[in-house]
């Protein structure tokens, strides 16, 4: 996948399991959210700021916006790759996603999520990303 304006990239590969499909033998639309979560976890692990580290640092990052565009359907047994690309991080965390068929390289789904930092002590949303996070991303910024 082309990096475009990505600051950090990660991906996961999977084979579509039977329990994720609907009666038409294609992936039920709600399962794509689960797939992008897997890629987001891989991205956060790469940065060194996964959900456990977030909580230990005193912040959580709830999703405040999510958009998915279904381009084509993944089918039972399809091998897919889910890309997660961090594109914004200074005031919010914006991650772009792309799901492709590994065999045909056809784009199946495009998505993005936006998350904002929440101070766990006072439950206040932050207008800037906490330094504990931006310092981890800074090593990837050229």
Tens digits of residue pLDDT in 61-105 = 999 999 999 999 999 999 999 999 999 999 999 999 999 999 999
Residue-wise pLDDT tens digits, 37-59: 999 999 999 999 999 999 999 99
CA atoms lying within 13 Å on the CB side of residue 40? 22
User: Average pLDDT, stretch 7-18?
Assistant: 97
For residue 109, what are the β-bridge partners? 70, 99
Tell whether the model's pLDDT for residue 119 goes beyond 80.
Answer: yes
Q: What is the pLDDT of residue 114?
A: 98
CB 38 within 8 A of CB 82: yes
Q: What is the pLDDT of residue 142?
A: 65
C-alpha–C-alpha distance, residues 75 and 39, integer Å = 19
- Give how far Cα 128 sits from Cα of 9, 42, 68, 89, 96, Å: 22, 23, 26, 9, 20
For residue 119, what are the β-bridge partners? 59
CB 16 within 8 A of CB 81: no
Tell whether the model's pLDDT for residue 108 goes beyond 90.
Answer: yes
C-alpha–C-alpha distance, residues 89 and 21, integer Å = 34
Tell me the percentage of the chain whose pLDDT exceeds 70: 96
Ordered domains of the chain (ranges, CATH): 8-138 (3.10.129.10)
| Residue-averaged pLDDT of the chain | 94
Tell whether the model's pLDDT for residue 9 goes beyond 90.
Answer: yes
């Amino acid at each position: 996948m082309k990096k475009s304006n990505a600051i950090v990239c990660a991906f996961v590969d999977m084979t579509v399991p039977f329990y994720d499909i609907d009666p038409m033998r294609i992936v039920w639309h709600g399962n794509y959210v689960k797939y992008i979560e897997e890629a987001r976890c891989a991205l956060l692990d790469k940065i060194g700021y996964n959900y456990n580290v977030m909580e230990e640092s005193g912040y959580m990052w709830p999703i405040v916006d999510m958009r998915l565009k279904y381009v084509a359907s993944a089918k039972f047994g399809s091998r897919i790759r889910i890309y997660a690309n961090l594109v914004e991080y200074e005031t919010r965390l914006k991650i772009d996603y792309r799901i492709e068929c590994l065999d045909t390289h056809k784009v199946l789904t495009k998505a993005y999520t936006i998350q904002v930092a929440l101070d766990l002590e006072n439950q206040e949303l932050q207008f800037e990303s906490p330094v504990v996070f931006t310092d981890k991303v800074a090593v990837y910024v050229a």
